[in-house]
Structure 1
Amino acid sequence: MNIQFLGATGTVTGSKYLLSAGSAKVLVDCGLFQGYKQLRLRNWERLPLQPSELDAVILTHAHLDHSGYLPLLVKNGFKGKIYCSEATFELCKILLPDSGHLQEEEASYANRHGFSKHSPALPLYSEADAVRSLAFFSPVRFDTDFQVCAGLSAHLHRAGHILGAAIVSLRSAETTITFSGDLGRPNDLIMLPPSLIEKTDYLVLESTYGDRRHDTADPAILLGKTIRDTAARGGVTVIPSFAVGRAQALLYAIHLLKASGDIAAALPIYLNSPMAVNATEIYHKHRQDHRLDYQQCEAMFSTAKIVNSVEESIALNQRQQPMVIIAASGMATGGRVLHHLKAFAPDPRNTILFVGFQAGGTRGAAMIAGADAIKIHGEYVRLRAQVSQIDNMSAHADADEILDWLSHFSKPPKQTFITHGEPAAADALRRRIEEKLHWPCRVPDYLESVELP
């Protein structure tokens, strides 16, 4: 068995792991690079193999940094099956076409306003490409063995994190390798904790928060205070949010805050992401994968007024009254939230609130670092609004939670590969695992290939 790291090395995006076992070739995750330009340019580079050579793809979950390259893989000749959990397939049916649509929209906007260096600006793939890729999906159930290809079987364990997220174990005749995907948290507001794994020969482990602990304060209290303080100034709270996972957690937290009187029941809440609306409906279909019952799901759905049309989205920017706007994307890399940032970032009464990890090179990371202006659609926008972050609303396990998850292994893997983290986070987690658990660990390099004896 051999593994090659085609992404998520030195960064939290672009997850792709090429696993070769005998004549079989399988890609675990197929994500887009995001953040710094030098990373985003990798999305346009050829893979070190022809997509037609792949037997299958297995997804850990639906977020675009794990699934968003699939339309291009299919466009370039992939003919195999894409295995994932049932909920992940439901979410990919929303996320992937939306990704293609946004890319087409942004390319068109750039061409109309002439701010792209390319003439014409082109999308990486289209909405139609994304729709075509959905025909290759083959959803499977959690906790059930399935045959990937000759000589290679797999098993999906629940990872928490978001709906449908999986820990993937792959087995050949003699070797087992497990991919953590993005590990969820043991006490998440909505998601169940990650399944415990007893043993594996090799482990590929995420390290998004590998160098830090989440604040122990109740994130709902921090959320309520931020919204209240902003409203008291007459301002708008703009929350860039991933449409899948964070948007639903925010809606449920705001429902609880309104129910308790911690924020005014009359304060308008807007969910400006049709994709998030569709994703939210999937929570009803897969209640076995999360903590909420039917009534709680309904309460979550009814918390916000849904913004469907572009005209409604534009109209929000003209409103001069306190409100909360939740809009994709979570790191302010694209989507409708950019137009809200252009409208509300220059006003000091407003707050831009981040509730998830911000990868280096993204607008979100720049704003949290104290930038006084951000570039949107080729122009710089003054940033006078307050910028806040509630780190402990993250859906990723922190360093302590990762170590606790690892402590349930009955014996150490032969090798643990630390991926999906910024360099400092990945190395800090490597050091902690070596010192506390005495496991052999390494942080692989981009495109590095390793034999698994």
Structure 2
Amino acid sequence: MAPSITFLGAASTVTGSKYLVRHEGHCALVDCGLFQGYKQLRLRNWQPLGVAPAQIDAVLLTHAHLDHSGYLPLLARDGFHGAVHATAATRELCGILLPDSGHLQEEDAAYLNRHHLSKHSPALPLYTRLDAQRCLRQFHSHALHRSFEPVPGWRATFSSAGHILGAASILLEVGGHRILFSGDLGRDDDLVMAPPEAPPQADTVLVESTYGDRQHPPENMVDELGAVLAPVAKRGGVAVVPVFAVGRAQSVLHAINLLKTRGTLPRQLPVFLDSPMAVNTTALFAQHPQAHRLSTQEVHALSHSATMVQTTEDSKALAKRHGPMVILSASGMATGGRVLHHLALYSGDHRNLIVLTGHQAPGTRGARIAAGEKSIRIHGQDVAIRAQVAQIDSASAHADSDQTLAWLRRLDHAPRKVFVVHGEMAAADRLRERIAHELHWRALVPEQGAVHSL
């Protein structure tokens, strides 16, 4: 029998990446992500996976972002005992991200219970910090371009995808069939990260489509960021920048440092990185110089051009300071974390600024702020949005539609089939159309739960 793929996530949506590959009694899961955004998507995290975790032989991760790795603690707690295969940087980043995710799950449940805001009594976390720490024992790291056997008789090889530290595309060779998972593709013109490598030849390709229906603007992130931060610094306001702790925080820090060097921003403008995850991630850039464009001096500047805020007490103390200042804090789509406290504190003042960087998944607070809503709910309270809102479109760490097609064109031969995944329906279908009409390849957008024989 031919191998098959079951789409357990990131099918007609941009979140929850999970692809189950089966062949002759064995199965492996490529990516193991959480659903985020709309409540109906988040509820999928609580539903049965569709395969017993104990039946899965191995998990392979393209990278560490939670929409690709954040379901792992639950999978392991519920019976998965196999190995989790990843690059070294992905393993290190998961060591930062997953325990923090478990901690936030516990905090959210505790808050709901304290304030009697849940229909469940008691509200329970999806998983705990301890669940996350335990699953980290199952990780095995692999170098790029060195094949390994995740399942007896199967071969897997990582190649660099750009995007963030450790991000990889995965070539999986099963039953004589070559399946390529793009993972999240970075940009050729990224400010910090190296560009993605050319894809290896494959019979079937799964390609992400986060930006499948658009092109990045011609402006660069440094100029866009300078144009909005300079006025707020001049008027003594506070800029709150929700950032992804892995990738976006470091790009924005680097851009601010360049703006200070150029004189666009005052050198004495206080900048705070209020995210322990982002602080720890920033330190990893020195350990993986081949993955990014930054010089040794620029990596050093990442850790010294801002005040690194680790403790909750230091985070709360920021509220006693006056502007001007810039606060970078996770999460990047304002779905949780310390940034919510800063948004609650500063969003009501017209002198202040909220800077949204990159894609805001539908259903998140970030998407609602970007859409111009005048009030958002934080910790059970309605918070007025009177601050200026700026969305920096050039900050994305994803390849756009043209860049994704250019990556696909680097394949030596047309694959038999392309599955367009990890994108909202409009973006995924537009990229499908372009692949079909411009490359003349067979392409389709799979549905959640669909099973396709290869």
2:267 aligned residue: 265
Q: Does 1:369 align with 2:368?
A: no
1:199 and 1:409 in contact (8 A); partners too: yes
Q: Does 1:356 align with 2:355?
A: no
> Runs ≥4 in structure 1, deviation > 2 angstroms?
113-119, 317-320
Alpha-carbon distance in 1 for matches of 2:173, 2:86: 16
2:171 and 2:200 in contact (8 A); partners too: no
Q: How does 1:245-256 map to 2 (within 5 A)?
A: 245-256=247-258
Q: Does 1:308 align with 2:310?
A: yes
Shift of 1:92: 0.4
Q: How does 1:246-395 map to 2 (within 5 A)?
A: 246-395=248-397
The gaps in structure 1 that reach 5 residues or longer are none
Shift of 1:102: 1.1
Percent identity of the aligned residues? 54
Aligned partner of 1:224 among 222, 226, 235: 226
Q: How does 1:84-103 map to 2 (within 5 A)?
A: 84-103=86-105
With the length of structure 2 as denominator, give the TM-score of the two structures. Answer: 0.98
Alpha-carbon distance in 1 for matches of 2:111, 2:129: 16
Aligned partner of 2:205 among 203, 206, 214: 203
Alpha-carbon distance in 2 for matches of 1:236, 1:59: 38
1:356 and 1:393 in contact (8 A); partners too: yes
2:352 and 2:388 in contact (8 A); partners too: yes
Aligned partner of 2:55 among 49, 53, 56: 53
**Aligned letter for 2:166?**
G
**Aligned letter for 2:32?**
C
Q: How does 1:223-242 map to 2 (within 5 A)?
A: 223-242=225-244
1:118 aligned residue: 120
Shift of 1:343: 0.2
Alpha-carbon distance in 2 for matches of 1:338, 1:115: 18
**Aligned letter for 2:94?**
C
For structure 1, which segment, 60-69 or 198-207, has the greater mean C-alpha deviation from structure 2 after superposition?
Answer: 198-207
Alpha-carbon distance in 2 for matches of 1:449, 1:317: 51
Deviations 1:404-429 (A, max 9, x none): 11111111110000010001000010
Aligned partner of 1:32 among 31, 34, 48: 34
Shift of 1:60: 0.2
Alpha-carbon distance in 2 for matches of 1:306, 1:139: 29
1:151 and 1:172 in contact (8 A); partners too: yes
**Aligned letter for 1:269?**
V
Q: What root-mean-square deviation, in Å, do the aligned CA atoms of Structure 1 and Structure 2 show?
A: 0.9
Aligned partner of 2:162 among 154, 160, 163: 160
1:42 aligned residue: 44
**Aligned letter for 2:236?**
G
Deviations 1:369-404 (A, max 9, x none): 111100111121111111111111100000011111
Q: How does 1:419-438 map to 2 (within 5 A)?
A: 419-438=421-440
Alpha-carbon distance in 2 for matches of 1:21, 1:284: 40
With the length of structure 1 as denominator, give the TM-score of the two structures. Answer: 0.98
For structure 1, which segment, 316-325 or 182-191, has the greater mean C-alpha deviation from structure 2 after superposition?
Answer: 316-325
Deviations 1:50-103 (A, max 9, x none): 100000000000000000000000000001000000000000000000100111
Shift of 1:232: 2.2
2:110 aligned residue: 108
Shift of 1:234: 2.1
Q: Report the count of equivalent residues.
A: 452
The gaps in structure 2 that reach 5 residues or longer are none
**3-state SS in 2 of match to 1:381:** strand
Shift of 1:156: 0.1
1:110 and 1:377 in contact (8 A); partners too: no
**Aligned letter for 2:87?**
S
1:186 aligned residue: 188
Alpha-carbon distance in 2 for matches of 1:221, 1:93: 34
Aligned partner of 1:213 among 212, 215, 218: 215
Alpha-carbon distance in 2 for matches of 1:375, 1:337: 13
**Aligned letter for 1:13?**
T
Shift of 1:318: 3.0
